[in-house]
Structures are given as structure tokens and as C-alpha cells.
């Protein structure tokens, strides 16, 4: 299968290297739009040469068509025209990329089928998100508002030679628009259904000669679309404030200083899941899920406070070398509260609070561009302190809602009591016999993980022949983690949550913190070979490697698991990635076509695995149990069919499987050969943009329509689509169906550029689909439905 897939990708890529491709202008553009430049008439016809997309992911301003990386770019025009407002919405338009669209506390980004949420402070994500080169941090920080961006660059595969923080699956780089020496600004008002109110503003001010500042701000509010009939409130609301202040100083033509401070505050009522079953997963719920109604005793909430500062110093030497220093500080605090019983009574609920504070420093030396041998050398330092406080509470109705129906029927007769007629004191006594604490007590999960990492990296390219370029890179990383963590499961009863440094079954000894540390180091090479088939077609092959550091399973661990793995460690995972790609430009740059075929093998893949501890004891642990292979093909094109009409599209095929995963399924089954959860085999998008000048209105009509498709995917390693409950009822679980969405935007832009007005809509056909499903702690099967059709109107004023 692997050889056939790569052979097919190679044939497809090579077949498009047409020798008749025409020349593209060598001018640079700084966004994703296809800019035009008037040239002298040729053969009495006006010829327009279209500029290529220019990116800076390699830390040089390079045309996307010449960078030997499978990479997608989403520019500021595309952000505006598609009405996307946050990072999670962009994945609809990029092949083989998925970003979860709910619950930012556990955001999940996958690239080519591989990714993860940083499910606890001891488990890192596989995809890095960066703003102007600064790593944004763990899952709660990644879903950023797309505020005054120049473009979003999505790089697939390991990227340890380009970004300071190591990434094993890929990187998403958000590039902001820097202040300039002109006064200008922008203000917009956006209103829509679900009582959407969005206000945005930006002003750029020159403060003095060679000094400019910019302030951008956005405030979004939106009602929810899930009705909690118990409280009368809506869930999945939005209350988001985002801002960024920037200062740019260029005291000489050699030195540039960029300072920035940004922040993001959210305070939302969320839906973690809409239950399909009762609390214990025994039978179906009485409220039909398609009604988008739930009955929880309180409204689950999530709030984030994300902020940070950065300083970028760039100095250009007389000999053409460039030195850069990027200093970053990030502070993320996230709080989350959920009714884990998914019930109208207070049986069990959780309160989580995570805080991350990080400092990073990166130094780079970049060689001159006008040489056959170019390179960049970098040093990187990263320090993060992560704190967590995650508690599970026994609610006010725990005795009557759990002990009475679940525990008492089997325990009460042994005590000579009538299970149907128990007092509150008797229920409390039975609860204590089962090992539970009193009502209001909690299971405690709290501690810190300190991470310190150092890295040195080097990447370069050598034009060793007329059309041949050799690329190469090397990175050496060392990462230390220290943990101080306390788990107190003495109140967990029959759930048997463990306690650190306490033997299984001992509920009297007070737990003490687990103290542990670990070190991971890795040397990762990369090499590529590029061949300019024509002046407009570039073919490349590439090998790269990477690693994800090990960590600690700081979760609500079963006491048997805690005894079997008292250090709670799991080791690093590694990847070897192979890629072949072809980037083409035709018709004076009016048509671009990028193709890539890839194969990646992950060893010691970190997963949640079912573990048989012997003697009928079982547990779930994060361990390095699996070997994973992802392979596939990606294609993207941009066609400027006429001066007024353009088409953009992408398609991706992905085969992401567990090559080896014995014991990884339910009850320890072998799931080798199964698809990775969350990995859609097919994804595609197609968009059209049409503009027309309307002299009578002194404006230009803009119309854009986009269609996106995402194939179905499994949500569990068992690759199931249904499950049978103890009641013998069958419910859909484990598979999310495919979905096709239609988004559109139409509006007028005044010829003087002062005013813009639009009507927009997303999911215009009002498709009803699911985002995710999972089984929660008590056995409840839940899913998360989409928001449905959204639409609105936007007014933009430029000054």
C-alpha cells in the first residue's frame, strides 16, 4: 500500500511538470491575495503579470512556489472574504488539517491525522501555534482570534529547524501586520443571528520619525444554540475580547525593533457534550439529542485569560548577514467547570484550573540571500511553569441520585435495611462503606510541572548546479521536566482513584506529593533535494525527523495503575517523514498548482492504552504503545481565470493508521490496522471570487462562495460506529459522518476605499451534523452538535 501510494503521488506530481509553463514576475507580495502589476503592452494586448505568494516561515522572504515544504497560506483577504474569525475555522479550507471547534480548554489540532490536546499539564501537544515566531503554549492558548493578521502559514510535518519550539506534526504561524509610517485605521460592526455582536477597530499612528504604533481590538458576543432547560440559559455562547498593541522602531536602516503585547479574554457558557445516555451509560436519555436541549443542574463554563509580550530585534550587517533576537513571554490561565453527571441533579461535577507561564528566547544568524550557499543558525531557550488544580466534587444530590439507585440495592439487604425506604443517614452510612467521602467532598488532582529546554539548530541550502538545490538541517534538543503532583482519591469509593505514595486499598494514609523528573534529548536531521524542472516548476523530495518529549500522566489515575507505574512517566515519541512535492506556476502566474505526497512513520507513539494489570485488574494509561503510519496526497490550486474572477481549491487524501497497537482497544483488543481517531480520509474545498465595477454606485461588487467537504472519521481506536448499552439499546457512538458546507459573502466596496458593506452566511444550507463524541468518566455517551446556519451583515469604515 505504501509503495503504491508514493508511486502514484510521484507519477501525479511528475506529470504536471509541464515544460510549457510561462514565466512569473519576480516581484514580492506580502499577502495571500493574487496581486497584479501592469506591464508594457505586448502584441497590442495588455498583459498582466500576477505576483506569487511570499512567505517567511523559513525566516526569509521567499516565494511559496520555491519553498520545499508542504505549506498552505491563508492571507488577510481570504480571512475577510470567508468571514472566519478564529483559528479553528480556517481548517475547513486547508487539506489534511483539523482544528476542534469547541471547548478551547482542550483544543485539538491535527495535521495529516496526527495531533493531540494537551489533556493535562504533563502532556504536550504535537502541533505548535506561533504568533510572529513566539510559541503560544498549550491547548487553552491556541484558538486565537484572527486579529489584524497579514497571513496564516500552515506547515506540515516536523519543523524543528525553522521554529524554536520543537513540533513533531507541524506548525501554524500567525503573521501580524506591522505598524507603518502612515496614519490609517479601520472600524467594523458585524451583527448576525444568535444575537451576534462583533466590534473591531484598528488604528496605526506614526509617533515620530521611524517610530510607529498600532492598536487592534475586537469584541465578540453571541448567544448560545443549546438550551439548558433546567436553568433556562443557552450554552455554547461567545464572550470574547482580543487586543494587540504594537510598536515598531527603525532608528537606522540596519536596525528594526518590534515590540508587541496582546491579550485574549473569554467567558463562555459551554457544552462539553449533549448526552445520548443516562449518567451511567445504561440506557438512552428521554430528551432527544436532535432537539438541541439538555437538562443540567448548572451551566458548564469556561473562561480563558491569555496574554503575552514579545520583542523582535533585527540587525542587518554591511556584509549582508542578519541577526535576530526574539524574546517572548506568555501567560495563560484557564478555568473550566462541567456537570460530569450530565443530569438535572447535582451528582458529580468537576472544576479545573490550569495556569501556564512561559519565557522563550531565540537567537538567529541568517546568511545573505544572494549566494549559492545560504543558511540560518539558531539557539533557543524555553522555560515553562505549569500549575493545575483539578477537583471532582460529590454534589448535593449524590446520595439520592447515585448511592440510592446504584449502590444501596446490593448493600442495604446485607445490613438488614429496606433499599426502597432508606433515610439520608442510612444512605450516608452506605456511601461511607463504599469508600466515598461525605457530600461536598472532593477528589484532588493538583501540582506543577516545570519544563526547561535548550536547542541548537541549523538549516541551509546549496545551489550546487544550474537547477539543483540541496537543502539540509540539523537540530539538537534537550528538555528537562520536573513534577510535583498530588492525587488524593480517598473519597472516590468504588471508582478507586489512586492516591500518590499510598498503597492500593489504603484510605486512611494521607497522600504525599509525587516528586519526579525526566530528561529527553534528540538529534534530528533533515535533508531535501530540489530541481527546477522549468523556471516555473519546482520539484522536491525531502526527509525530516522530529520528536515529542515524554511526560507524566497527571490524571485521575486508577489506584492499580498508580501502583504499577508509580512514576507515571511515558517516554518520547519519534517520527521519520518523507515527502515529494511539485510547485507550479502557469499563465504568467495566473494559475498555481501545488502537489505533495507524504509518508510518515511514528515510533513509540504516545496514546491512552488499555492495560491488563493481571488478576482481573485493568487500567488506562498514557504510554508509548503504538506505531503509527500516516500517508497521503495533497493538492492546492489558485486560478485567476479573468481579471474579475478567480477560483481557489484544495484536496487531500489521508491514510492514518495504527501500524501496530496490540492491547490498545476495548478490553485489551488488538487495534493494529485501525484508523487514528479524528483522521478523515478525504477533505476538499472549492471557492470562487467574482468582482465587478459598478460606476453608477462608485463601488465594486464582491461575491465569494466556498464549498468545503470533510470525510467522516472515527473517534475511538476501536473504529466502531455504534455501541450496545446494558439495556440492549443501540446508540450511535464512535463515528462522525462526513459533511459538506456552503459559505458565502456578498458586498460593496467603495472606489475610494472608505466604506465596505457585506452580507455573509456560513453553513448556508443549514446542515445538521456532529463535531465530536466521547464517553465521559461515569460512562455517559455524549456528542457535540454544530451551530447550524449563521448569517449577518457587516459594515467596515477605513480612514
Domain ranges of the chain: 2-396+440-798, 397-435
Q: How many Å from the N-terminal Cα to the C-terminal Cα in the chain? A: 57
d(CA 447, CA 440) in angstroms, rounded, equals 22
pLDDT in tens, 202-242: 999 999 999 999 999 999 999 999 999 999 999 999 999 99
pLDDT at 759 over 80: yes
Give the pLDDT of residue 68: 85
Joined together, the cell numbers standing for residue 737 give 459522518
pLDDT at 495 over 60: yes
- CA 47 to centroid of chain Cα atoms: 42
Joined together, the cell numbers standing for residue 332 give 495563560
d(CA 621, CA 614) in angstroms, rounded, equals 15
Q: Where are the alpha helices (DSSP H) in 136-210?
A: 139-142
Neighbouring CB atoms inside 10 A of 372's CB total: 10
pLDDT at 9 over 50: no
d(CA 128, CA 142) in angstroms, rounded, equals 8
5: part of which helix (H) or strand (E)?
helix 2-15
Give the pLDDT of residue 163: 79
Stated pTM of the model: 0.90
Q: Are strands 127-131 and 170-176 parallel, antiparallel or unpaired?
A: parallel
d(CA 722, CA 740) in angstroms, rounded, equals 22
Q: Which CATH class is domain 2-396+440-798?
A: mainly beta
Apex CA 215: angle with CA 213 and CA 221, to 5°? 175
48 vs 554, residue with greater confidence? 554
289 vs 258, residue with greater confidence? 258
Give the pLDDT of residue 286: 75
* Eight-state DSSP code of residue 317: -
pLDDT in tens, 114-173: 987 667 888 888 999 999 999 998 888 888 889 999 999 999 999 878 878 888 999 999
CA distances from 361 to 164, 250, 330, 332, 364 (A): 8, 21, 12, 18, 10
pLDDT in tens, 170-202: 999 999 999 999 999 999 999 999 999 999 999
How sure is the predictor about 15, in pLDDT bands with cuts at 50, 70 and 90? Answer: very low
Joined together, the cell numbers standing for residue 791 give 448569517
**CA-based torsion, 153, 221, 329, 140: positive or negative:** negative
d(CA 240, CA 266) in angstroms, rounded, equals 4
d(CA 302, CA 432) in angstroms, rounded, equals 32
d(CA 200, CA 217) in angstroms, rounded, equals 6
d(CA 627, CA 440) in angstroms, rounded, equals 43
Give the full edge-to-edge strand order of the sheet including 71-75. 71-75, 149-156, 170-176, 127-131, 134-135
Amino acid at each position: 500500500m505504501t509503495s503504491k501510494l508514493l508511486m502514484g503521488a510521484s507519477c501525479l506530481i511528475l506529470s504536471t511538470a509541464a515544460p510549457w509553463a510561462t514565466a512569473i514576475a519576480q516581484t514580492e507580495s506580502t499577502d495571500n491575495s493574487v496581486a497584479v502589476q501592469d506591464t508594457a503592452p505586448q502584441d497590442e494586448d495588455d498583459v498582466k503579470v500576477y505576483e506569487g505568494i511570499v512567505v517567511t516561515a523559513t525566516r526569509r522572504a521567499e516565494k511559496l512556489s520555491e519553498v520545499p515544504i508542504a505549506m498552505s497560506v491563508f492571507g488577510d483577504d481570504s480571512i475577510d472574504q470567508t468571514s472566519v474569525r478564529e483559528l479553528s475555522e480556517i481548517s475547513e479550507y486547508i487539506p489534511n488539517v483539523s482544528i476542534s471547534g469547541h471547548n478551547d480548554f482542550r483544543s485539538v489540532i491535527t495535521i495529516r491525522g496526527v495531533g493531540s490536546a494537551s489533556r493535562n499539564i504533563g502532556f504536550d501537544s504535537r502541533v505548535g501555534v506561533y504568533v510572529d515566531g513566539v510559541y503560544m503554549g498549550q491547548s487553552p492558548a491556541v484558538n486565537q482570534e484572527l486579529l489584524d493578521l497579514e497571513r496564516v502559514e500552515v506547515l506540515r510535518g516536523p519543523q524543528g529547524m525553522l521554529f524554536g519550539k520543537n513540533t513533531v506534526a507541524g506548525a501554524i504561524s500567525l503573521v501580524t501586520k506591522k505598524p507603518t509610517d502612515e496614519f490609517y485605521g479601520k472600524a467594523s460592526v458585524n451583527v448576525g443571528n444568535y444575537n451576534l455582536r462583533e466590534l473591531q477597530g484598528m488604528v496605526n499612528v506614526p509617533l515620530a520619525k521611524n517610530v510607529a504604533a498600532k492598536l487592534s481590538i475586537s469584541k465578540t458576543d453571541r448567544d448560545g444554540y443549546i438550551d439548558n432547560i433546567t436553568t433556562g440559559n443557552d450554552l455554547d455562547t461567545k464572550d470574547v475580547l482580543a487586543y494587540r498593541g504594537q510598536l515598531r522602531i527603525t532608528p537606522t536602516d540596519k536596525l528594526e525593533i518590534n515590540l508587541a503585547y496582546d491579550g485574549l479574554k473569554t467567558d463562555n457558557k459551554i457544552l462539553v457534550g449533549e448526552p445520548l445516555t443516562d449518567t451511567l451509560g445504561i440506557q438512552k436519555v428521554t430528551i432527544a439529542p436532535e432537539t438541541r436541549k439538555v437538562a443540567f443542574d448548572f451551566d458548564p463554563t469556561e473562561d480563558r485569560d491569555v496574554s503575552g509580550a514579545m520583542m523582535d530585534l533585527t540587525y542587518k550587517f554591511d556584509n549582508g548577514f542578519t541577526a535576530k533576537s526574539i524574546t517572548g513571554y506568555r501567560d495563560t490561565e484557564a478555568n473550566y467547570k462541567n456537570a460530569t453527571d450530565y443530569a438535572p441533579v447535582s451528582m458529580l461535577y468537576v472544576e479545573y484550573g490550569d495556569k501556564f507561564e512561559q519565557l522563550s528566547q531565540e537567537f538567529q544568524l541568517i546568511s545573505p540571500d544572494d549566494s549559492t550557499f545560504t543558511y540560518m543558525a539558531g539557539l533557543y531557550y524555553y522555560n515553562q511553569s505549569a500549575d493545575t488544580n483539578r477537583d471532582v466534587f460529590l454534589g448535593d444530590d449524590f446520595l439520592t441520585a447515585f448511592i440510592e439507585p446504584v449502590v444501596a440495592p446490593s448493600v442495604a439487604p446485607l445490613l438488614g435495611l429496606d433499599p426502597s425506604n432508606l433515610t439520608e443517614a442510612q444512605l450516608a452510612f452506605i456511601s461511607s462503606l463504599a469508600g466515598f467521602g461525605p457530600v461536598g467532598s472532593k477528589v484532588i488532582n493538583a501540582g506543577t510541572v516545570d519544563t526547561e529546554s535548550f536547542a541548537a539548530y541549523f538549516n541551509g541550502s546549496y545551489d550546487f548546479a544550474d537547477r539543483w538545490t540541496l537543502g539540509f538541517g540539523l537540530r539538537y534538543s534537550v528538555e528537562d521536566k520536573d513534577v510535583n503532583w498530588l492525587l488524593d482519591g480517598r473519597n472516590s469509593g468504588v471508582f478507586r482513584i489512586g492516591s500518590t505514595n499510598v498503597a492500593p486499598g489504603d484510605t486512611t494514609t494521607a497522600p504525599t506529593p509525587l516528586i519526579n523528573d525526566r530528561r529527553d534529548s534528540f538529534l534530528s536531521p533533515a535533508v531535501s533535494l530540489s530541481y527546477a524542472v522549468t523556471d516555473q516548476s519546482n520539484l522536491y523530495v525531502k526527509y525530516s525527523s522530529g520528536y515529542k518529549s515524554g511526560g507524566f500522566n497527571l490524571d485521575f489515575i486508577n489506584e492499580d495503575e498508580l501502583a504499577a507505574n508509580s512514576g507515571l512517566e511515558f517516554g518520547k515519541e519519534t517520527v521519520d517523514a518523507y515527502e515529494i512535492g511539485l510547485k507550479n506556476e502557469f499563465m504568467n502566474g495566473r494559475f498555481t498548482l501545488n502537489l505533495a505526497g507524504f509518508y510518515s512513520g511514528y515510533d513509540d507513539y504516545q496514546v491512552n492504552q488499555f492495560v491488563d494489570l493481571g488478576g482481573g485488574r485493568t487500567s488506562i494509561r498514557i504510554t508509548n504503545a503504538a506505531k503509527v503510519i500516516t500517508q497521503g496526497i495533497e493538492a492546492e490550486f489558485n486560478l485567476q481565470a479573468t481579471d474579475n474572477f478567480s477560483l481557489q481549491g484544495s484536496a487531500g487524501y489521508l491514510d492514518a493508521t495504527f501500524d501496530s497497537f496490540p492491547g490498545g482497544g476495548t478490553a485489551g483488543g488488538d487495534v493494529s490496522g485501525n484508523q487514528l481517531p479524528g483522521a478523515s480520509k478525504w477533505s476538499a474545498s472549492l471557492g470562487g471570487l467574482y468582482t465587478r465595477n459598478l460606476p453608477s454606485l462608485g463601488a465594486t461588487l464582491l461575491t465569494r462562495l466556498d464549498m468545503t467537504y470533510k470525510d467522516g472519521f472515527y473517534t475511538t481506536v476501536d473504529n466502531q460506529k455504534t455501541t450496545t448499552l446494558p439495556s440492549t439499546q443501540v446508540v450511535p457512538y464512535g463515528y462522525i459522518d462526513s459533511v459538506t458546507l456552503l459559505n458565502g459573502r456578498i458586498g460593496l466596496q467603495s472606489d475610494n476605499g472608505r466604506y465596505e458593506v457585506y452580507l455573509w452566511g456560513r453553513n448556508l444550507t443549514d446542515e445538521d451534523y456532529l463535531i465530536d463524541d466521547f464517553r465521559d468518566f461515569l460512562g455517559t455517551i455524549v456528542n457535540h452538535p454544530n451551530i447550524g446556519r449563521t448569517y449577518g451583515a457587516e459594515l467596515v469604515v477605513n480612514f
